[in-house]
Structure 1
Amino acid sequence: MPAKDIYHNAVRFALVKDGWKILTEDYTLEYGGDRLYVDIAAEKSIAAEKQGRKILVEVKSFLGRSFVNDLEQAVGQYIVYRDILVEKELDFKLYLAITKGT
């Protein structure tokens, strides 16, 4: 299980404050015999539901040594997760949570 991102709790708090119900913080996608976590490296996903809508939130800090490398990883992983959600017809909308400065 990946470790929580530095901004994980802040994103979770913001969702709760906005009225979202947290379903799980350990949401996994299974694909081709592998387990994928809707997060990057040491980040965990948040699954939440609001007014009948389900979302998955990928928390990303962009605190690595290379911004471009962090961006490449985040976008690549986001696309993989999005495609799995579409292929498996899962009723989630995927978001990437980043800081305003990023």
Structure 2
Amino acid sequence: MARDAFYQQVKNALIKDGWKITSDPLTIPISETIKVQIDLAADNAIAAERDNDKIAV
């Protein structure tokens, strides 16, 4: 997967902000022949009693 000039800066900013990188890249199967790849997936707990927020960048 080709990475653009901002990839590492975005990844570093997410980590610095407390996000945990969970996939690099995140692959989402649409069908048996079609798959989408997203550069990064990350999650960050908002509070112990709440669900985790998740993002894909």
Q: Given the two structures, how large is their TM-score scaled by the length of structure 2?
A: 0.78
Aligned length: 50
Q: Which runs of 5+ in 1 are unaligned?
A: 39-44, 58-102
Q: Per the alignment, in what secondary structure is the counterpart of residue 36 of structure 1?
A: strand
The equivalent of 2:48 in structure 1 is none
Question: Cα deviation per residue 1:9-54 (whole Å; 9 max; x = unaligned)?
Answer: 000000000000011111011112211112xxxxxx1100011111
Question: SS where residue 40 of structure 2 aligns?
Answer: strand
- Give unpaired runs (5+ residues) of structure 2: 46-51
The amino acid across from 1:50 in the alignment is N
More helix per residue: 1
Structure 2 match to 1:56: 56
Q: Over aligned residue pairs, what C-alpha RMSD do you find?
A: 0.9
Identical positions, percent: 34
Higher strand share: 2
Instruction: Tell me the TM-score normalised to structure 1 length.
Output: 0.46
Per-residue displacement from partner, 1:60-90 (whole Å, max 9, x unpaired)? Answer: xxxxxxxxxxxxxxxxxxxxxxxxxxxxxxx
1:50 & 1:28 partners in 2: Cα distance? 19
